[in-house]
Amino acid sequence: MAEKTGNAFDIKIFSRLMSFAKRYRLYFFIAASSTILLALFSVLSPYILINTVDDYILSKDKAGLLNYTLLMLGVLFVEVALQFIFIYYANWVGQHIIRDIRAKIFRHILQFKMSYFDNNSVGKLVTRVVSDIETIAAFLAMVFLQF
């Protein structure tokens, strides 16, 4: 009898899903790195703003104000680029993992004996596989968003 924990996050299931991600380590690393860099650049923006107000607006230094404004704009563009990279590669890895799981499941189903299909509806089987895969896809999306 299988043990049901009822937890929203099961480490065994997560590790089995991540075994499919081994093929996409580079892209997963790119997504993870962009997230870490994004966190660093997000912290940098308020710090630059504080220095801009304290050092250049109050002293009315127009040249310094322009430089820091351009720096803030540059940091914003880097943040946007990193956010795009994270979303793109996280979704790319997730979709490829789902594709691999679907292919593995359908290869497994094709190995069933014909008598199995005599006793079980193919539509019911396909519906079950699709709904289970969509549940896994939602789980992966939740994991990547929380990451």
125: domain CATH number is 1.20.1560.10
Residue with more model confidence, 97 or 141 = 97
Query: In this structure, is residue 120 part of a structural domain?
Result: yes
Q: Say which residues have a Cβ less than 8 Å from residue 79's Cβ, sequence separation at least 6.
A: 38, 41, 42, 45
Residue 88 tokens read as: 């793109």
Lowest pLDDT segment from 22-31, 33-42, 68-77, 118-127: 118-127
- 10 Å CB burial of residue 28 (0-12, 13-18, 19+) is buried
Q: What percent of the chain has pLDDT over 90?
A: 20
Structural domain count, the chain: 1
Task: List the domain range (segments joined by +) for residue 108.
Answer: 24-146
Query: In this structure, is residue 1 part of a structural domain?
Result: no
Mean pLDDT of the chain: 83
**In this structure, are residues 143 and 20 in contact, taking their beta carbons and an 8 Å threshold?**
no
CB atoms within 10 A of CB 63: 8
Task: Give the separation between CA 93 and CA 20, rounded to whole angstroms.
Answer: 10
pLDDT at 31 over 70: yes
Query: In this structure, is residue 73 part of a structural domain?
Result: yes
Query: In this structure, is residue 7 part of a structural domain?
Result: no
Q: What percent of the chain has pLDDT over 70?
A: 89
Query: In this structure, is residue 92 part of a structural domain?
Result: yes
Please report how the helices 62-110 and 122-146 are oriented relative to each other, as an axis angle in degrees rounded to 10. 150
Query: How far does Cα 142 stand from its chain's mean position?
Result: 8
pLDDT at 109 over 60: yes
The reported pLDDT for the residue numbered 7 is: 61
Q: Mean of the pLDDT values across residues 101-118?
A: 86
